[in-house]
Structure 1
Amino acid sequence: MGEGTNVRIYTRSGDKGETSLIHGVRVPKHAARVEAYGTCDEANSCIGLALALLPAGPEWDEVRRQLAVVQTKLFHVGAELATPPDKPVGWPIGDDDVTNLERQIDALDAQLPPLANFILPGGHPAGAALHVARTVVRRAERAAVRVAAEEAINPAVVRYLNRLSDYLFVLARYVNQRLGRPEPTLHADDGT
């Protein structure tokens, strides 16, 4: 936008409970597609919060790089979910995106002690934010599955969201371990 350009953030076009998908198709704001891509946006914001909470320093550059890619891919997932099934998708998610996440999960998990107990979300604020992002991605996955039950979507979208929540879980553990703030573990109730 050039200097002096006055663009309003609000459009008033959604005041009657409808919104536009990509290519201008109008749908109710409660439509399954809107819920799915809105939840992807919410997850992306949680990842942004986690990035903001990561400590400064070059030792975190690779994590920041990975999360920047994830944020871009999650934006692409949202755009794909916001595209009607009969319209072209600008940035389709593919099996290579899923495979890349799997490689990153394996690389991070190899640096962690094996899980002996269920963990409770927490630890360092950046790790806790990644746990929040993980749960929001799971909700986005459920919403995408609902869309897929009603109309055709790229099956790689659901696979990507599934692996992304796994990646965020392992990354939360990795961040917490490196910062010396592991999550609390779930133990049998001891009555206290």
Structure 2
Amino acid sequence: KLPNGLVVTSLENYSPVARIAIVVKGGARYEDSSNFGVTHALRNAAGLTTENSTTFGITKNLEHLGANLTASTTRDHLVYVLECNRDDAAKALKYATDIVFFPAFKPWEVSDAAGRVKLDLAKFRQKQEAVLLEALHQAAFRGGLANSLFLQDFLVGKHSHKKLAEYVKNHVTAPRAVIS
């Protein structure tokens, strides 16, 4: 555990590929009525401009390193997984930590990301099992655990850059995160 509260773990497996996960206790259960669906918007905003790099810079540098970064959410966590050559892990991790902890949320980028959210919703709705699971989960739980992993249609494009930044400021902090 680092002085700032961030927990870092590692396991040597002698693989040529490094797989690093940044898991933050900030999933859908922590949303409230003022920001329902914000974690879905955050998931789709992964890779946008950060305080230290542009979207183009992040994309080209991760591509140059042969790295792959994915973002997913659960009701409990925001999960970012970085896969890359183990020799380039430190370089690639710099971009991943910037994406997670230091997003800039430029207004025009956030509004452009709404198209990805719509596509994500369309793919979700085509999977009847996933739709059923979401409905069952909502019926089975109350409070934050009943929150959906997906935005409602009427909320697409409604989460401003300020709302995303506020959620990250309050929930995506070192004491709530693990890098493994």
The answer to which structure has the higher strand fraction is 2
Which TM-score applies when normalising by structure 1? 0.28
The answer to which structure has the higher helix fraction is 1
Larger radius of gyration: 1
Bigger relative contact order, structure 1 or 2, given CA contacts below 8 A and separation 6+?
A: 2
